[in-house]
């Protein structure tokens, strides 16, 4: 539970423990600190909170058919600074066999890429993650996918998110 009056130990989260054998899960409330900007890609923007961290997120439930030269499935314009970038989507080839797809998360240059082959009726979850520093003019993070020629794949449940950091340090693994 929250500490009284926002005192020490106040994490901004409320926790509830359900009764044993109730079949209920623990519930969490979003933190009160920070700012979340969420919008349907190409749609209205919803702005919640103020302060840091700044989280910018976009979603599109149906991205349509991905072909050999498909446009970006989603993009977010971001202000200057260091950003942790992530995206995910589902790909579905329907009943077609042996379809190849390549998805890329870019921020001026590619920050992550996934290439996969899908069997008939096999849906695939495609996660992408990376980090990038945008200069004083800011920039755009884009999620794009393409499939092999003549092999359309359907993209849906698309999410792109960015979390602003105070600094970015990239290290070799």
Task: Read off the pLDDT of residues 43-93 as tens digits, 9 standing for 90 and up.
Answer: 666 666 676 788 899 998 888 888 777 778 999 999 999 999 999 999 988
Question: What integer is the mean pLDDT of 153-166?
Answer: 91
CB neighbours of 80 closer than 8 A, spacing ≥ 6? 134, 135, 136, 137, 138
Structure confidence at residue 52 (pLDDT): 73
Length, in residues, of the chain: 173
Question: What integer is the mean pLDDT of 21-31?
Answer: 41
Domains of the chain by residue range? 55-165
Structure confidence at residue 173 (pLDDT): 86
pTM: 0.72
User: In whole angstroms, how far apart are CA 78 and each of 22, 51, 86, 107?
Assistant: 43, 16, 13, 10
Residue-wise pLDDT for 103-116, tens only, equals 999 998 999 999 98
Given the candidates 3.50.50.60, 3.40.50.920, 3.40.50.970, 2.60.120.760, the CATH classification of the domain at 55-165 is 2.60.120.760
Structure confidence at residue 76 (pLDDT): 92
160 CB-contact burial (10 Å; exposed 0-12 / middle 13-18 / buried 19+) = buried
Long-range contacts formed by 36-43: CB under 8 A, 24+ apart: 41/74, 41/75, 41/158, 41/160
The two structure tokens encoding residue 152: 């359309």
Mean pLDDT is highest, among 81-85, 93-97, 147-151, for 81-85
Structure confidence at residue 5 (pLDDT): 40
In degrees, rounded to 5, the angle at the alpha carbon of residue 130 between the alpha carbons of residues 155 and 134 is 110
């Amino acid at each position: 539970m929250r500490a009284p009056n926002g005192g020490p130990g106040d994490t901004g989260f409320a926790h509830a423990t359900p009764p044993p054998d109730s079949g209920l899960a623990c519930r969490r409330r979003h933190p009160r600190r920070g700012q979340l900007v969420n919008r349907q890609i190409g749609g209205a923007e919803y702005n919640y909170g103020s302060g840091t961290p700044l989280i910018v997120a976009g979603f599109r439930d149906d991205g349509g058919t991905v072909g050999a030269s498909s446009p970006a499935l989603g993009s977010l314009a971001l202000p200057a600074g260091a950003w942790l970038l992530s995206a995910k989507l589902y790909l579905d080839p329907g009943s077609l066999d042996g379809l190849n797809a390549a998805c890329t998360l870019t921020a001026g240059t590619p920050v992550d890429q996934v290439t996969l082959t899908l069997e008939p009726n096999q849906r695939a979850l495609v996660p992408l993650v990376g980090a990038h520093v945008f200069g004083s003019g800011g920039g755009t993070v884009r999620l794009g996918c393409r499939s092999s020629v003549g092999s359309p794949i359907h993209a849906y449940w698309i999410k792109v998110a960015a979390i602003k950091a105070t600094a970015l340090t990239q290290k070799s693994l």
